[in-house]
Chains A and B, each alone.
Chain A
Amino acid sequence: MEKSTAQTGVTQASFWTVGRGAFALALLAAALFPVISGSTFHFHIAIMICLAIIATMGLGVIARVGQLSLCHGAFVGVGAYTSMLMVMRLDLPFMAGVVAAVVVTSLVAALIGGPLLRLRGVYFVLITFALNELFRLVMLEFPGLSGGSSGIANIPAASFGSLVLDEKATFYPLALISAVLVVALVALVDRSMIGRRFSAVEENITLAESTGIATARTQNLAFIIGSGIAGFAGALMAHYIGFLSPETFHFELSVSYIIMLVVGGRLALWGPVVGALILTPLPEFLRGAMEFQHVFYGVALIVILSFLPNGLVSLPERLARLGGRK
């Protein structure tokens, strides 16, 4: 009995190394794909994937303390509006807008995190859902800030001094580097003391509390980091798309981040990457049949929840285990 487990262990390990190598190669190929093809359309999709990876990474950090936020899209919105206001109203450079976006979203998260995170499970989901709606309604009510229902157009492109990234091919490196940096940041958090505290809280909050972990502070920290990352994604989005309206940050945006996170893998580092990589291009390729794409999203969500609760990233491990059992 013991021998056979040891053997499966070996198969699993080799499968994992091969799997990881192949995964890294596939990612690299995907990242370079638009550069090789040179198509603006491919650059656009690749940029949208990078932005989705960043935002979903942030949602993943919040999921690491066992909470599912339905107002993540609103935090992307706070970041987008902050950066837009800094650049368009105060004439600050792009980088200052991005920094301000991260600072402001983190501050908002810090302010509301305390009372909000006293709620758990479905109650946290309910209040974040209400907050997302409130954000959209308030934005519609203050057209001076947000342009109201007609939105704000002609947001200046991202720029560093005289280097203006106003084309898809020039914006792509920025989006890709940003996505890689965010993944690296989350990997660092995962490996740190904070990351271990996060998973202790996620696994059993009562137990974590009794071992002396300040669970409220830990959850707040995850919420602040995750929302700050959402703000970063929002700032990039504002200067890439060049147009913002309150409807962009409808609760459906939050839902789409949740779908990517769940399909990719709720608690895995690479979950958001896999989820965004697979689900972002779909609407572009199924343009003629948007409805079918949404039906597919719904089916994928339910099927993956039932058969692969840890998302697509757990598929190699699952297959290895099945292979080992044979």
Chain B
Amino acid sequence: MSFLIIQSLVNGVILGLLYLLMAIGFTLVFGIMRVVNFAHGEFYMLGAFAAYFAFAVAGLPYPVAVAGAFGGAIVLGAIIERVVFRPFRGDELSGMIASIGLALILQNLALIAFGPDPLSMPSLVSGAYNWGGIILPKSRVVVILGSMVILAIFYYFLMHTRTGRALRALVQDREIAAAYGVRVELMYPLGLALGAALAAMAGAFMAPLFGVSPFVGGTPLLKAFIVVILGGLGSIPGAVIASMLLGLIESTTSTFFGASTADIVVFALVIAVLLVRPSGLLGHKEA
């Protein structure tokens, strides 16, 4: 029994890290652009395809595949901000509806280009660590280390670079940030590009574990959604706490009660939190 608990705690932390990678981009885009981006999962999907073609088809090294997903998403994100989201600045609801349109477009273009069948990607490494009964596949360790490196780089960027500070200032108060010389015009495309890139790298990492298809973005989007509702839209510390919480709740409930019960528990929790604290655990109070 105690083995089960420890094993599910370990799995919970792994899940939490994955969710964090998705949720940070999602919450960053909301914080900067005030857009609830329903197309976030589609960036994950495109990242997974990019990694598949670079690694499994073209035979490039895996880090190159991840870097490719990153670069492609940066460019695509900046273009999409200009074409799709710019007309709706200041209108949260319209921006969100537009993102639903964008998700339909991206998912179905991928369907036309790559077909509906899931593609499987070769695993990076095989085998598993076994610490006195607690089993950890090596492929997951790669994913954990990779996510942690990306999160660390991102943390440094956000905390210690000029641009990172400007982005944070914008999230806190756009008018004051603008008054202090933050170039809002440049921050919007940068925000969406970064959010897209984080999702795409998550996709590139997850591709060997969960496979690649036009529909793989749905679940990560749902998880990012849950994390930011729990943690508070736009709050990065909230996203950190909520991803870990969600990962742990999911893995422990599904270990002891089954996966579908875990889903119901999570959704009931989300609704309860929203009703008590509409802006999430650490979210800013909305007017």
Binding site for B on A (CB under 8 A): 68, 115-116, 118-123, 125-127, 129-131, 133-134, 137-138, 140-141, 255, 258-259, 262, 291-292, 294-295, 297-302, 305-306, 309
Contact partner of A301 (CB less than 8 A), chosen from B100, B109, B226, B261, is B100
Contact B264 A302 (CB under 8 A): no
User: What's the nearest-Cβ distance from chain A to residue B65, in Å?
Assistant: 26
11 pairs of residues in contact across A and B, judged by CB atoms under 8 Å: A115-B275, A120-B286, A122-B92, A137-B263, A259-B100, A291-B111, A295-B112, A298-B103, A299-B101, A305-B87, A306-B87
Residue of B nearest to A129 (CB): B225
Instruction: Give per-residue flags for B210-244: 1 if the beta carbon is below 8 A from chain A beta carbons, else 0.
Output: 00000000000010011001000100000000000
User: What's the nearest-Cβ distance from chain A to residue B13, in Å?
Assistant: 24
Contact partner of A134 (CB less than 8 A), chosen from B94, B108, B264, is B264
Among B105-149, those with CB < 8 Å from A are: 105, 107-109, 111-112
Write out the residue numbers on chain A whose beta carbons fall within 8 Å of the beta carbon of B286.
120-121, 123
Contact A130 B100 (CB under 8 A): no
Write out the residue numbers on chain B whose beta carbons fall within 8 Å of the beta carbon of A134.
264, 267-268, 271
Residue of A nearest to B112 (CB): A291
Contact partner of A130 (CB less than 8 A), chosen from B84, B104, B267, is B267
User: What's the nearest-Cβ distance from chain B to residue A290, in Å?
Assistant: 8
Contact partner of B102 (CB less than 8 A), chosen from A122, A259, A298, is A298
- DSSP class of A's interface residues: helix, strand, loop or mixed? helix
Residue of A nearest to B214 (CB): A291
Write out the residue numbers on chain A whose beta carbons fall within 8 Å of the beta carbon of B96.
122, 125
B60 at the interface (CB under 8 A from A): no
Other than A126-B274, A298-B105, give 15 A-B pairs with Cβ distance below 8 A: A115-B275, A118-B278, A119-B274, A122-B96, A123-B233, A123-B274, A125-B93, A126-B233, A130-B226, A133-B267, A258-B97, A258-B100, A302-B84, A302-B102, A306-B87
User: What's the nearest-Cβ distance from chain B to residue A101, in Å?
Assistant: 24
B98 at the interface (CB under 8 A from A): yes
Write out the residue numbers on chain A whose beta carbons fall within 8 Å of the beta carbon of B84.
302
B154 at the interface (CB under 8 A from A): no
- With the chains together, A141 CA to B103 CA distance in Å? 29
- With the chains together, A297 CA to B93 CA distance in Å? 18
B182 at the interface (CB under 8 A from A): no
B62 at the interface (CB under 8 A from A): no
B36 at the interface (CB under 8 A from A): yes
User: What's the nearest-Cβ distance from chain B to residue A305, in Å?
Assistant: 5
User: What's the nearest-Cβ distance from chain A to residue B101, in Å?
Assistant: 3
Contact B260 A299 (CB under 8 A): no
Contact B264 A298 (CB under 8 A): no
Contact partner of A302 (CB less than 8 A), chosen from B101, B225, B229, B263, is B101
User: What's the nearest-Cβ distance from chain B to residue A93, in Å?
Assistant: 34
Contact B97 A262 (CB under 8 A): yes
Binding site for A on B (CB under 8 A): 36, 84, 87-88, 92-94, 96-98, 100-105, 107-109, 111-112, 222, 225-226, 229, 233, 260-261, 263-264, 267-268, 270-271, 274-275, 278-279, 286
Contact B279 A294 (CB under 8 A): no
Write out the residue numbers on chain A whose beta carbons fall within 8 Å of the beta carbon of B111.
291
Contact B270 A305 (CB under 8 A): no
Contact B101 A297 (CB under 8 A): yes
Write out the residue numbers on chain A whose beta carbons fall within 8 Å of the beta carbon of B270.
127, 130
- Which among B101, B107, B271, B278 has the greatest number of chain A C-beta atoms within 10 A? B101
Residue of B nearest to A262 (CB): B97
- With the chains together, A301 CA to B39 CA distance in Å? 14
Write out the residue numbers on chain B whose beta carbons fall within 8 Å of the beta carbon of A258.
97, 100
User: What's the nearest-Cβ distance from chain B to residue A224, in Å?
Assistant: 18
Contact A130 B229 (CB under 8 A): yes
Contact B104 A297 (CB under 8 A): yes
Contact A140 B88 (CB under 8 A): no
Write out the residue numbers on chain B whose beta carbons fall within 8 Å of the beta carbon of A133.
222, 267
Write out the residue numbers on chain A whose beta carbons fall within 8 Å of the beta carbon of B264.
134, 137-138, 141
Contact of A137 with B104 at beta-carbon distance under 8 Å, contacts A122-B92, A301-B98 already known:
no
User: What's the nearest-Cβ distance from chain B to residue A289, in Å?
Assistant: 8
- With the chains together, A83 CA to B102 CA distance in Å? 36
Contact partner of B104 (CB less than 8 A), chosen from A126, A140, A298, is A298
- With the chains together, A115 CA to B271 CA distance in Å? 10
Write out the residue numbers on chain B whose beta carbons fall within 8 Å of the beta carbon of A129.
225
Contact of A295 with B271 at beta-carbon distance under 8 Å, contacts A126-B225, A137-B260, A258-B100 already known:
no
Closest 6 CB pairs of A and B: A298-B104, A301-B101, A298-B105, A298-B101, A294-B108, A291-B108
Write out the residue numbers on chain A whose beta carbons fall within 8 Å of the beta carbon of B108.
291-292, 294-295, 298
Contact partner of A299 (CB less than 8 A), chosen from B87, B105, B263, B274, is B105
- With the chains together, A93 CA to B108 CA distance in Å? 43
Contact of A121 with B97 at beta-carbon distance under 8 Å, contacts A130-B271, A141-B264, A295-B105 already known:
no
Write out the residue numbers on chain B whose beta carbons fall within 8 Å of the beta carbon of A292.
108, 112
Contact B97 A294 (CB under 8 A): no
User: What's the nearest-Cβ distance from chain B to residue A255, in Å?
Assistant: 6
Write out the residue numbers on chain B whose beta carbons fall within 8 Å of the beta carbon of A119.
274, 278
Residue of A nearest to B105 (CB): A298
- With the chains together, A258 CA to B108 CA distance in Å? 19
Contact of A121 with B93 at beta-carbon distance under 8 Å, contacts A131-B271, A140-B260, A141-B260 already known:
yes
Write out the residue numbers on chain A whose beta carbons fall within 8 Å of the beta carbon of B109.
291, 295
User: What's the nearest-Cβ distance from chain A to residue B198, in Å?
Assistant: 20
Contact of A125 with B101 at beta-carbon distance under 8 Å, contacts A119-B278, A134-B268, A295-B109 already known:
no
